[in-house]
Every structure is written in structure tokens, then in C-alpha cells.
Chains A and B, each alone.
Chain A
Amino acid sequence: MPKMSIAEAIRQGIREEMRRDARVFCLGEDIGIQGGFGGAFTVTLGLSEEFGHERILDTPISEAAIAGLAIGSAVCGMRPIADVQYGDFLFEMMDQLANQAAKLRYMSGGTLSVPMVMRAPVGATGRGSQHAQSLEAFFTHVPGLKVVCPATAYDAKGLLKAAVRDDDPVLIFEHKLLYGSKGARSEKGALSPIGEVPDEDYIVPIGVGAVRRTGKDVTIVANLLMLYRSLAAAETLAQKGIEAEVIDPRTLVPLDKNLILDSVRKTGRLLIVEEDNLTNGWVAEVAALMADEGFAWLDAPIKRVAAPDVPPPFAPPLERAYVPDEQRIVDAVLSML
């Protein structure tokens, strides 16, 4: 089975969907330009050679225009895959996403649907506050939007294909340190997990999480980069005889609640980890879910590990202190035992 990076897996997913369905097209800034990088992180590199510039559409530098075009074409029956260079720029299109894309199905009494995909890179990687945020939680609060966050190459392709085929707007959050982008777009300190990705057509269903490591002492729920830091923490904890179960939610909306509840029913302890600011993050929602539906199983207070409530700092030492690391996760688990 071929092995590839997340950027390559998404590219393959896009290629397969575009070959399968003529309504699928990509749009974004510098995604198909000759001699360009293939978007900010090489995902669309080379696609314009196969599909041409009409289906790999380079847009002006206007995120509001990208969203408007994506939503409008989706309403008219196309299957757009739009992207922003940095997830932070989603704020530029907030009205389009939250007021238009998310609500049209409801406001039209089900007459309209918006089968669009919006891809957005997240994560603090030395670029300062406006190119570093992890914005998944923002969009989990908008009914009508689906939110996915693939952390492996297999999931990246499978979730992309599921998103394209979904009849509602799906936001895909991808982490800059997990892409495995090459050349000029390679990221310092990147983890770039390489994984097996089948050549055949498959999807990873939206709304299904995955247990990445089984354990009996504590359940750690973490997405994207934090998944890998949690797995590293679980390894350290294992040396102390503590068996952590690590869950990758893969999709935040809709959330695979039962996977988490069943795990905590077994372990009695829940730690949730995200790279976003602590207050009102999606971790808070998982904690509330647990308190609401699984309180009787808890054997320790629910703990959260997240970034402090400040914008991502630019100075590298501050950024290192900002993004939760393995040690914080280990310490949090130890405080629960």
C-alpha cells in the first residue's frame, strides 16, 4: 500500500473526486498558478496540469469573494473545494459562512443546500497571532456547519472525499505541522506523519472518531497536533505504569459522543487537549457532555489542557510556552490519579 503525507493524501482525494464528478472544482489563492507552491502548503500542487485553470481556480486575494463564489456555486449545484491560506482568514468570510452557508438549508425550508468544502490550515508555527490560531471551536458553535480535523493521511483523504460528497457545508481543519509539505513550504518542527493510503476509493464517515491507543486508566481526547503530543505523553505515562487511552475525535461536528462516553465508562477519567485557547473551546463542550451524560463514571475531576487565553505569541520561546506540550499533558494526567 502506498505511503504518503497528509498533503499528498488530500491531493489524491481531490484528484479522485474531480475525476469522479465533473461538478467538483477547487478555488483559492495561488492554488494553480504556474510555478507556484500549489496553495500555501502544496496540497493542490500539479492539479491544474491535469484539470486546467477552470477547475483549479485562482482567485483574487479576497476571502469574502472565495466564500461567496463557493457558496453561490454550491447552491447552483456545483461541488466546490475552497481553501484559505491560513485558517485565521476565515474571519474575513465570517458572514458568508455563518450567516449564509450555515443557514440557507434551514431558511429555505430545505429547498436549498450548500454542498461546499472549506479547507483551512491551523496551528501555531512561528508566524504570529494572525497566522497561527486553531479555530475549530469557533465553527462548532454555528449550527449548519460540519467540522472535521484529520490527523492522519488515511483520514485526510477519506474525510476530504466524504466532505465533497456531503450535501452540507463542511469545514476541514488541517494542521500545518502535520501536512508534510515539501521544499520551500516545509515547516520547521513539523511532525509530518506518513501513513498508508489505499489507492482505491474509500471514505472516512463524518462523525466517527477513532481510538488511537487503548488503555484503562485515563481517556485522553485530542485532535490534530495535540493527538500526537498526547500519544507521546501516553508513551511516557506507560513507563510509569499508567495506561492512557487516546481518542482522536476526527470530527468535532457531529461529535462521536458514544466513543468518548464508552471510553470514560471504562477508565473513569477524562482529559481533553486542544491547541486553541482554553475558554469555551470544543474541549469545554466535551467536558460538559461528560458531566451531563457520564457523571456517574467519573473517578476524578475532568481536566482540560489548552493554550492560555491570549493570542498566539510570535516570539518562539513564548510560542513554545503557549502551545500545550507533552509535559503539560503528562502533568495533567498525573494530577488526576
Chain B
Amino acid sequence: MATPIIVPPLSQTMDSLVFVTWLKQVGERVEKGEPLYQVETDKAVLDVEAPAAGIVQEASAAPGSEVLVKSTIGLIVSPAEQTSVQPGAAASPRQSRIFASPRARNLAKAENVPLGAVQPSGPQVKLPHVTETQAMIVERDVRAYVELQKQPPAPPEKARPEAAERPASRPAEVRATPLARRVAQATGVDLETVAQARQGTVIRRADVEGALRGEAEPRAPKEAAAAAPPPVVTPTRLAGKGRPVALSALRKTIARRMQASHQITAPVTLMREVDATELVNLRANILNELPADAGAPRPTYTDFLMVILAHTLPRHPHLNALYQDEEFVVYDEVHLALAIETERGLVAPVIHDLLHKPLLDLAAARVQLAERAHAGTLAAEELSGGTFTLTNLGALGIDGFTPLLNPPQVAILGMGRIRPIPAVVADQVSIRQVMTLSLTFDHRLVDGAPAAKFLLDVAQLVEKPYLIWLANFKSVPGER
């Protein structure tokens, strides 16, 4: 029995995923449950298992393409049903598939026209499981091709010298001084581009530096410059100005989500400096008590802030909430998304139900998530379901910043570095450890004052962490 390969709904917020690669090729055998292909959700690359055992008969999704959730991207058949395909043969790229109307096919056959050579201009058509459409070859396209063939071909003698005159078609021998070569290599300037502009003269250091400054044709003859129309150069195409970098699928996803966040939310950031001296002392004392076992996680300030959020967010449910499709839902449980920077880009895995987790468990959970985030092996459920996000740039020396919201969440807290400052305490100048907290909230759902009250509660527990022992520490009333 043939089993379609259907893209599973790996994320409740995404209806399409980026297809990364096939782990089995057409013609290969696969067992049920064996990893079959990889997709990238908004936060991680995930292996998807084969829905059945058999031979991969079709594998139509192209690496890097977007695939719709619940769409069919291939077929697994039993060995008996397998039609003849070469093992290892790559899935035929979509572009090579020719769509032609029956009328066009008949005409092409009658006129001996190879359909692959015909430029299609007909209705847009598409295969069921891909999003891109493609124009169909219709009768007029075949007729246009036939007409074109009837015209006498241009004499080749005329065409050839024209081609030879074009400097671009001739691989130029680059002549440059050793210093110019070194500067070019160090700055990434393309010597060939400079050579074309210099029209065969020896390239010197000044030419490379000129190209670096964006002077594409530093010493072009005046007559030529006057005669030729002004070249259309976009900044990115200036020699030496930069190199295009292929964006990873995750980077594109981050770009899309960040832009969406910026466009759809009304973010306001409140910053507050808090005295973290007590917290620093508390952490030092706790670390002292921990066995010097290398394997045990050592709680960081992020872990302490998680505990503080577990005690403060339930008092401010409007900040521990999701806003989606004009529906505003507040949560009693705190599911905290942690922003983690990896080599591949930013991810925000979620620690679920913060309320009942002790400090060391949270530390252990954070370490585990971070490891898997760096390895790119986070599961989909670990990347979804957050109700609030915590991000920490303190380790990189940042004090205050303006975090972007992580929709559909409505608030995100940023931690800055902890630094000593001279402060007046009880009429004495003493050294205090301070930290800046940056709270971004969505002003569509939350107003400034309730957000400030929440930040005040957080600040209070940073300044007096022992208040956590009081079941009802006196706080500013939250937004209820």
C-alpha cells in the first residue's frame, strides 16, 4: 500500500515549514519511524520520521523550499509497487516539469517542436503539494516558437566579433603590484573587477583603495565616461564594498518573525536600575554550599530571575499572556521562553511550568536546553507554548536595551550586566552591585502603569530576594 509523506503540524503557530533535506533518497528503503527528512520550524531543525516502511517512490520537496503543513511531499510504496526508479536519483526539480495544454502538445507534435524549448505564457498551474505556480505552455507559445524558427538565423560571422569585443567575455589577466594584491586580499576587493575598470593597466594600491571607497572606475578616460551612460550601480554591487552572504533558512525565519513582531506589535520598553547586591550575595552563598562537583549545574543570575518571575508573573497575569487572532488569553502557569544565541541564530526554547521548579532544577533545565539549542536538536514542543520571554545580554556587557516582543507573547524581560557603582546607603557612600532591567510590553494589550508595577515587583525581589519566603510579600497591586 502506498503511503503519502505528509508534513506534520510541528508548530501551532506555523502553517508552513522550511524543508531542509531528504535523509533518504528516491529508491532507498526506509523503516517506519526512521528519520526521513528534515524541516526547519521557526526555531529548530527537526527530523521527521517515516510514516511507514517501504521504498521512497517520490520525494518532491526541494531543499530550502517552503512546504505547507499537511501537504504531501512524497510517497512511500511497498517494494512490489515500486516503479522503476534509479536508487539515489534525486527528486526531479520542479522547473524541469513541463506543463503544456493538450492543444499545445498536439501542435508541438505536429510541428516537431521540442516543448522544452518553448517559452510558456499560459495560465498559472501548480502541483498539489507545492506553493509555487508555473506558467503553462499554450497553443500560442508553440506557434510563436514555430514563427521564430521560420525566420532566417542571423549570420554567425556578424555575431562572433561582437561577442569578442565585449571585455567581460574575455578572462582578463590581472596585472597588479604585490602591494595592491595584498591590500585587495585583506579588504576583500575583487581585483578582476578593478582590472576591468582600469582597462588593462597595472593595478596599484591606490586603485584598490579607490575601489574600496566605492569609486568603481577611479581613472576611467574622460571621453568614455562622457560617452557611456552613467552606470547603474547599487551600493551592494560596488567593488570591495561587501560580499553577499547566503542566508540560512533559520536566519530568514528570524528575519520574518522579527519584522512581523516589529510591524504588528506596539512595543514600549521600560528600563529600571535595580540594586542587585543582595542577589549577588545570595548567589555567592548558595554557590559556596554546592558541592564542587563539576557535573552539577551552577545557578546563574538568569536562573535566579526565573525564580523571581515564577513569583511575580502570576500576580500580573496580563503580562503572562498570549494575543492571537484578536483573542487575548492570560495564563496562571508560567511557561518561560529563554532567548539563547547559537551559531545558527537566535532560538527561544521553553521551560514549562516554572512555578513548581526549584532553583537547581531550573538551572539544570536551562543547561540542557542550551546544549540542545547549540546542537540544533530541540524538539518542536520545546520551542512552543511560551507565555513570557527572558533574555540576558549582561554577559556581553550590555546594561539596558530594547528587546523585541516574541509574538503572540505580550512581554519580554531583558537582563543587563551587574556592575559595581558607588552609591549612598544610610548616608554612607558604599559600593553596590546594580543591574538594569528592560521590560518590553505590547501597548495594545498592556498599559504603561501596570507594566511598571510588574517591573517594580521584579525589582523588589532582586533587591530583597528573601521576600520570597513571605507568601504574600507586600507588593504593588498587580493588574487584575
Number of chain A interface residues as a range: 10 to 19
CB-CB nearest in chain B for A337: B123
Residue B102 at the chain A interface, CB threshold 8 Å = yes
CA distance A297 to B101 in the complex (A): 9
Closest A residue to B103 using CB positions: A299
Cross-chain contact of B104 among A299, A335, A336, A337 (Cβ < 8 A): A299
Q: Quick check: A268 and B103 within 8 Å, CB to CB?
A: yes
Q: Is the CB of A268 within 8 A of B101?
A: yes
Query: Most chain-B CB neighbours within 10 Å: which of A299, A300, A336?
Result: A299
Most buried by A among B102, B106, B124, B139: B102
| Interface 1/0 per residue, B79-106 and A, CB below 8 Å | 0000000000000000000000111101
Verify if A1 is at the interface (C-beta below 8 Å from B): no
Given A268-B101, A268-B139, A300 contacting B106 (CB threshold 8 A): no
Is B348 engaged at the interface, CB distance under 8 Å to the other chain? no
Is A301's beta carbon under 8 Å from chain B? yes
Residues from chain B with Cβ under 8 Å of A295 in the complex: 102
Q: Measured between alpha carbons, how far is A296 from B124 in the docked complex, in Å?
A: 19
Q: Are B136 and A300 in contact (CB under 8 A)?
A: yes
B125 and A301 contact, CB distance less than 8 A:
yes
- For residue A301, which residues in chain B have a CB less than 8 angstroms away from its CB? 123, 125
The majority secondary structure among interface residues of chain B is mixed
Instruction: Enumerate chain A residues within 8 angstroms of B102, measured Cβ to Cβ.
Output: 295-299
Q: Which residues of B lie under 8 Å from residue A298 when comparing CB positions?
A: 101-103
Give Cα distance in the complex from A297 to B106, angstroms.
9
Pick the residue among A296, A299, A335 that contacts B138 (CB under 8 A): A299
* Cβ contact within 8 Å between A299 and B122: yes
Q: Taking the nearest CB of chain B, how far is it from the CB of A244, in angstroms?
A: 16
C-alpha spacing A299/B100, complex, angstroms: 8
Residues of B within 8 A of A297 (CB): 102-103
Q: Are the C-beta atoms of A300 and B124 separated by less than 8 Å? A: no
- Residues A296 and B103 in contact, CB atoms below 8 Å apart: yes
In the complex the two chains form, what is the Cα distance from A296 to B106 in whole Å? 7
Bound complex: CA A231 to CA B412 (Å): 59
A268 to B139, CA, bound (A): 9
Give Cα distance in the complex from A337 to B140, angstroms: 10
Residue-wise, chain B 222-258 has the 8 Å CB interface mask toward A (1 for contact) of 0000000000000000000000000000000000000
Separation in Å of the B143 CB from the closest CB of chain A? Answer: 11
Flag A276-301 by CB within 8 Å of B: 1 or 0 each.
00000000000000000001111111
A337 to B120, CA, bound (A): 11
Are B123 and A335 within 8 A (Cβ)?
A: yes
How far is A297 from B105 in the complex, measured between Cα atoms in Å?
Answer: 10
Binary A-proximity of B131-151 (CB < 8 A = 1, otherwise 0): 000001011000000000000
Separation of A121 and B103 alpha carbons in the complex (Å): 40
Q: Mark A296-329, 1 if CB is under 8 A from B, else 0.
A: 1111110000000000000000000000000000
Query: Which A-chain residue is minimally distant from B105 (CB atoms)?
Result: A296
CA distance A296 to B122 in the complex (A): 16
Q: How far is the CB of B243 from chain A (nearest CB, A)?
A: 42
With A299-B138, A299-B139, A300-B138 as contacts: A335 and B101 at CB distance below 8 Å: no
Least CB distance from A144 to B in Å reads 35
- Chain A's closest residue to B107 (CB) is A299
| Complex contacts, B103 vs chain A, CB 8 Å | 268, 296-299
Q: How far is A337 from B102 in the complex, measured between Cα atoms in Å? A: 14
Chain B residue at minimum C-beta to C-beta distance from A300: B123
Is the pair A299, B101 in contact by a Cβ cutoff of 8 Å?
yes
**Complex Cα spacing A190 to B10, Å:** 52
* Cα(A296)–Cα(B100), bound, Å: 11
What residues of chain B lie closer than 8 Å to A335, measured between beta carbons? Answer: 123-124
Among residues of B, the one whose C-beta sits closest to the C-beta of A295 is: B102
Contacts of B122 in A (CB 8 A): 299-300, 337
Nearest neighbor of B100 in chain A, beta-carbon distance? A299
* B110 CB, min distance to chain A CBs, angstroms: 11
Nearest opposing residue in chain B for A264, CB measure:
B103
For B136, what are the chain A residues with a Cβ–Cβ distance below 8 Å? Answer: 300
The 9 A-B residue pairs with the shortest CB-CB distance in the complex, in nearest-first order: A299-B103, A299-B101, A299-B139, A299-B138, A298-B102, A268-B103, A300-B123, A296-B102, A295-B102
Which chain B residues have a beta carbon within 8 Å of chain A's beta carbons?
101-104, 106, 122-125, 136, 138-139
A: residues with CB less than 8 A from B are 268, 295-301, 335-337
Query: Known pairs A297-B103, A301-B123. 13 more at Cβ < 8 A?
Result: A268-B139, A295-B102, A296-B102, A296-B106, A297-B102, A299-B122, A299-B138, A300-B123, A300-B138, A335-B123, A335-B124, A337-B122, A337-B123
A-B contacts, 29 of them at CB < 8 A, read: A268-B101, A268-B103, A268-B138, A268-B139, A295-B102, A296-B103, A296-B106, A297-B102, A297-B103, A298-B101, A299-B101, A299-B102, A299-B103, A299-B104, A299-B122, A299-B138, A299-B139, A300-B101, A300-B122, A300-B123, A300-B136, A300-B138, A301-B123, A301-B125, A335-B123, A335-B124, A336-B123, A337-B122, A337-B123
